[in-house]
Structure 1
Amino acid sequence: MTERRRIVVVGAGSGIGAAVATHFHDRGDHVLAVDVREMSTPASEYARCDLRDPASIRDLLDGIGSGWDMLAHVAGVPGTAPAADVLKVNYLGMRLVAEGMLPLLRHGGSIVAVASTAALGWDQRLDTLAGLLDLTDPDAVERWQSEQDPDYPVYSTSKQAVLLYAKRLAGPAWTKYGVRVNTVSPGPVETPILTDFEQTMGKDVLDMCKATVGRHACVDDIVPAIAFLGSPAAQWITGQDLQVDAGFISSMTAGTPIQLV
């Protein structure tokens, strides 16, 4: 019989987050399902939190106690949302939750945040992203975004920041708390916000991705990767980003495919 673990899932109301919460609940774990709205996701307990509001995040963290095994931070909004909200929810909210959870996680625990293959190119924007990672106040983040190129997709920026922040957090989190920090980067997934991505990224781009790998992902393609990185089986993995996209990014970046006969 597997040990019953204690898991916090942020963004548990729908999509990948709901599937993650359901996965852990079904295997007998104690799941705290967190979302900005009321939800019917299977869980042991529920909490509301608005990731745009640091006070709401503090209230959440002050009320849940310690001894948690894992934070699965899945919450996010698409690029159709106001640009400031995209950064506040996808990046800053994730950051404040992750840092606040570190002392609440047991030694050997883990944080897994959902980034995106839309973060491709993050390593070419380190100087730009460093300015964003210096900020921990929502108003400052909004001002920062107002000074950026309006033609650069803010969703991509938000997920690049998630990925870079997680990598920068991983070493200190491991050293001080014994907690691992990793990210999972899905490609297009059949969730309620897929049509939003078609608007912001272009339906032709998503259709090309679908044609290349055969189909879009479903939530059940993504959940096992999150579960693995959060599990003791990944005890020596931290500071990594796992692309879960059926190889689409590799097909674009690795050069000419090997021809099989």
Structure 2
Amino acid sequence: MQILDGKALAQKIEEKVSSGAKEFKSLTGRVPGLAVILVGHDPASQAYVGMKKKACDRAGFYSVTHEMPDDISQDAIIKTIEMMNQNPNIDGILIQLPLPSHIDTTKILEVVAPTKDVDGFHPYNVGRLTTGLDGFVPCTPLGVMELLAEYNIDVKGKNCCVVGASNIVGKPMASLLLNANATVEICHIFTDDLKKHTLAADIILVGAGVINLIKEDMVKEGAAVIDIGINRAPDGRLVGDVDYDAVAPKTSYITPVPGGVGPMTIAMLLSNTLKAAKIHAEEEK
């Protein structure tokens, strides 16, 4: 059993992005810029935004956070996004989810310019991903693919079971695996007999937000297990969706929580923002 160290790989990617940002500055006279929209006072969202800000500082990016009250109108958010779409110093726009219930999240995500959609949630980028074309890919599943590649885990022809069908993780994860020639099953809350599907999988990728959802008897000997879940246990610890202590001995590879997929998400956000900056620099020529 080998632990996939997302923290170490994220640091490696961050260093590469940081040197890419310096090179970009020497060529263009500016640095990549990321803008974040944070609505409300959700502690988890505030913590994530803080981590992203620190990562931008380390990489030498320009970053700005637009903090907005819970009761802000949808039109006010849209106006702010449209302003950032026009701002040449902003290469990436990130809408911190979830948004309050009175806001139409789909509408908000559609307002972001596709070339500034570093989260990969705009329908334009979703379409490019599902058809195998280059675009912006959601950071968490993209980070998973980087982690698999770093440890030479080839998904081609492998049976991959994606547990969780969200637009943010599950669906794009399945598309990336399919594009890499894996055989993919997607399981979700309405799946009958989850264990039957996970037991047949060479690689299980779970992002359902349920503590200890994947138990030892649901994993075949030698499978790789990628835990994308992040949950707060009753005792305050951060834990994933996998019963780690029981499952780990059966696996060939497994990600810890924390320190597995989590750090990769922010590293890929930086990578996507640098990519966006280069696209904008080409457009300005």
TM-score (norm 1): 0.41
Structure of higher CA gyration radius? 2
